[in-house]
Amino acid sequence: MNSDEIRITFPDGRSETVSRGTSVQDVLSKVKPSRDGWIAAKLNGRMVDLAGKIEEDAALEGIEKGSEEATVVLRHSAAHIMAQAVKAIFPEARIGIGPAIENGFYYDFEVERPFTEEDLEKIESKMRDIISQKLAFKRTEVSREEAIRFFAQSGEKYKVELLEEFTDPNVSYYQQGDFVDLCRGPHIPHTGHLKAFKLLSVAGAYWRGDEHKPMLQRIYGTAFFDVEGLKKYLHFLAEAQKRDHRRLGKELDLFSFTDEVGAGMVIYHPKGALVRHILENFEKREHLRRGYQIVIGPTLLKTELWKRSGHFDNYRENMYFTEIDEQSYGIKPMNCLSHMMIFKSKIRSYRELPIRYFELGTVHRHEKSGVLHGLLRVRQFTQDDAHILCMPEQLNQEIKNIIDFVTEVMGIFGFEYEMEISTRPEKSIGADEDWERATSALMKALEEKGLPFQINEGDGAFYGPKIDVKLKDALDRRWQCATIQCDFTLPERFDLTYIGPDGAKHRPVMVHRVILGAMERFLGVLIEHFAGAFPVWLAPVQAMIVTVTDSQLDFANQVCRELQERGVRAEVDMRSEKLGYKIRDAQMQKIPYMLVIGDKEVAAGAIAPRKRDGMQLELMQPREFADLIEKECLETSRGRIGLGI
């Protein structure tokens, strides 16, 4: 092989000799054609453009259209095309950053006024014009100083700020047409590869996520390689909008938020409070069945205690503090400290272990206002929190018991799920040996249960690794709810001990865990999963009694009392409205059953049940209907919940 030739190795182990300086595109097209077409490539593991030249021996892997990596490249390029369109329509706009994100892309702009829906339509139109020109994405490498001069002359102060923090002496920018943007790349070969896109929304966003910096306008969009993919995603968004728990929470009169109370603070209305009450009673019964002891800890604990636990050094930005009688207190963000105090309140024998403490504990965490999101991200919430203190040799079985608990409960609600192990974060406490023991214990339990899992590096709690359970809802979205955390560190810090068979003191292991997680978050997920149509065992109103005329109200009230005495959650619609209107309203409220009463039903002393899907049942006695509800409750809750709460 002469000096003008280089060797290219492909993922299948094949290798070919090509001329030095050959483009990535030419190598892939001539040597390894793609059925769907290449969009970018990996050169020695690094993502590159197809136009890039290969100057030395290298491993080369093509990235095909439709692959996950190609979609990221497409969406990043779509962000650049959008920014070019914005600059063409609003020349005074200053550009921030524009990355690809999950399911789409965004770009931040400083403009004189907020963008409107009409602006988005104009921007989309201009993007289509840019796409039709098939403008090439051209990469140029320059010195950092040269790039600073260029963007300063262009008035792009945000790019200058980024460049001034760079440490590399050289940087790259991309140009398509007259638009230039600082970027590492890679990009699609030309703008014409963007076939299907949609600008979705506009939101305010602080520059670099810092509330002390300027508020920019962020335009969100999405892009696909084909129109069918875009249509499918837009349908998904429409369905998600229909299921949005914030909208349904208002329509179904479940909960509310108000600035008068404070951001991130939930106000439960009667129906929402009842659903939560049903969930909490379910939780208490399930925990008692499994040998847990119910405990309650205080909301305020002395700051010195939080310092000893490590929360003050590692978590205080998420905590609230106050002072009483010149003594500093922390409002609890977690329940573990009180549970350790209970364990430590007397000498413990190995014969008592494992001890399982359970608390529906209300905690407070300081979340930034920008991340608050309905019930899914709040500042005050209640966890179905438990802490298990056990001997090291009991740890494996306790973790597997929790996994079984999660499996059984998620089955009741109809959730599939995935497992993920989150490992030691940079900000953490404890010895490396303890972290390794804890991580190994979690892995071993999952392996013995035959459950696959992913590793999420560096996302564990500051005191220990954890198993995160990701629920999959009716739209196949993932939600983090249940978690299992293994902790050798806090028992050490709080000097927790038990007397072993040898009469000596030994250190227990502590497992922190939640099953549903935050009740608020889980309720939000449930609302979206069921689209507000709760199963009958969980529905706040199981039956709405509707009359044809006011003359049947006395009998309707009598039926309501009979059903309520049996434990059925029934109400009477007392309004002087037409029957059809009342039935439609009950359906809109997603009530499982409507009980229609007219003169015929009064004469027969019976009711005519109608399901929320419109299915009409035969005439039956109130007691028969109560039996029907009880049977359905037991079936949909897998035998856990009958009538009564």
**Overall average pLDDT of the 417-429 stretch:** 93
Q: Give the end of a domain, one of 15, 38, 64.
A: 64
**CA 512 – CA 461 distance, rounded (Å):** 10
Contacts of 347 by beta carbon, 8 Å cutoff, 6+ apart? 499
For the ranges 33-42, 449-458, 532-541, 589-598, which has the lowest average pLDDT?
33-42
Q: What is the pLDDT of residue 419?
A: 94
Q: What is the pLDDT of residue 477?
A: 87
When comparing pLDDT for 534 and 102, which is higher? Answer: 534
- Backbone phi and psi for residue 372, each to the nearest 5 degrees, phi listed first: -65, 140
Is residue 22 domain-shared with residue 103, that is, in the same domain?
Answer: no
Is residue 370 domain-shared with residue 283, that is, in the same domain?
Answer: yes
Is residue 548 domain-shared with residue 415, that is, in the same domain?
Answer: no
In a domain, 533, yes or no: no
Asked whether 419 and 452 are in contact (CB, 8 A), the reply is yes
Q: What is the pLDDT of residue 486?
A: 95
Is residue 445 domain-shared with residue 582, that is, in the same domain?
Answer: no
For the ranges 382-386, 560-564, 587-591, 612-616, which has the lowest average pLDDT?
612-616
Is residue 78 domain-shared with residue 11, that is, in the same domain?
Answer: no
**Overall average pLDDT of the 328-352 stretch:** 97
Q: What is the pLDDT of residue 644?
A: 67
- Per-residue pLDDT band at 244 (split at 50, 70, 90): very high
Which domain CATH number covers 139?
3.30.980.10
In a domain, 132, yes or no: yes
- Backbone phi and psi for residue 257, each to the nearest 5 degrees, phi listed first: -125, 150
Q: For the purposes of burial, counting CB atoms within 10 Å of the CB of 320, is it exposed (0-12), middle (13-18) or buried (19 or more)?
A: middle
> Strands, E, within 501-645: which ranges?
505-506, 509-518, 543-547, 570-572, 593-597, 608-611
In a domain, 535, yes or no: no
In a domain, 318, yes or no: yes
In a domain, 441, yes or no: yes
What do you get for the CA distance between the two ends of the chain, in Å? 81
In a domain, 537, yes or no: no
Is residue 195 domain-shared with residue 277, that is, in the same domain?
Answer: no
Two structure tokens written together for 345: 């309140």
How much of the chain exceeds pLDDT 90, in percent? 87
Is residue 508 domain-shared with residue 606, that is, in the same domain?
Answer: no
Q: Give the end of a domain, one of 215, 243, 271.
A: 243
**Overall average pLDDT of the 535-550 stretch:** 96
Nearest to 272, CA basis, from 375, 178, 392, 361: 375
Q: What is the pLDDT of residue 33?
A: 67
- Per-residue pLDDT band at 211 (split at 50, 70, 90): confident
| Helix, strand, coil % in the chain, rounded to nearest 5 | 40, 30, 35
Is residue 276 domain-shared with residue 318, that is, in the same domain?
Answer: yes
Is residue 194 domain-shared with residue 260, that is, in the same domain?
Answer: no
In a domain, 524, yes or no: yes
Residue whose structure tokens are 């003191």:
505
**Overall average pLDDT of the 464-468 stretch:** 94
Asked whether 475 and 527 are in contact (CB, 8 A), the reply is no
Which domain CATH number covers 24?
3.10.20.30
Q: What is the pLDDT of residue 38?
A: 87
In a domain, 216, yes or no: yes
Q: How many domains are there within the chain?
A: 4
**Overall average pLDDT of the 123-137 stretch:** 97
**CA 174 – CA 76 distance, rounded (Å):** 12
Q: What is the pLDDT of residues 252-261, one digit of tens each?
A: 999 999 999 9
Q: What is the pLDDT of residue 36?
A: 66
**CA 299 – CA 330 distance, rounded (Å):** 8
Is residue 594 domain-shared with residue 523, that is, in the same domain?
Answer: no
Which domain CATH number covers 308?
3.30.930.10
Q: Give the end of a domain, one of 528, 552, 574.
A: 528
Q: What is the pLDDT of residues 11-48, one digit of tens each?
A: 888 888 889 999 998 888 877 666 668 899 999 999 99
Is residue 362 domain-shared with residue 455, that is, in the same domain?
Answer: yes
Q: Which domain holds residue 179?
A: 69-243
Q: What is the pLDDT of residue 630?
A: 95
- Per-residue pLDDT band at 78 (split at 50, 70, 90): very high
SS3 assignment, position 485: strand
Q: What are the residue numbers of the active site?
A: 336, 365, 383, 385, 387, 466, 512
Nearest to 468, CA basis, from 408, 395, 419: 419
- SS3 string, 154-219, reads CCCHHHHHHHHHCCCCEEEEEEECCEEEECCCCCCCEHHHCCEEEEEEEEEEEHHHCCCCCEEEEE
Is residue 401 domain-shared with residue 492, that is, in the same domain?
Answer: yes
Judged against a pLDDT cut of 60, whether residue 1 lies above it is answered with no
Provide the β-strand partners of residue 487: 510
Q: What is the pLDDT of residue 368?
A: 86
Contacts of 148 by beta carbon, 8 Å cutoff, 6+ apart? 160, 163, 164
Cα dist. 54→4, 45, 50, 51 in Å? 11, 13, 10, 10
Residue whose structure tokens are 């902790």:
487
Judged against a pLDDT cut of 90, whether residue 375 lies above it is answered with yes
Judged against a pLDDT cut of 90, whether residue 102 lies above it is answered with no
Two structure tokens written together for 235: 């349908």
Cα dist. 89→82, 122, 609 in Å? 11, 8, 60
**Overall average pLDDT of the 51-70 stretch:** 91
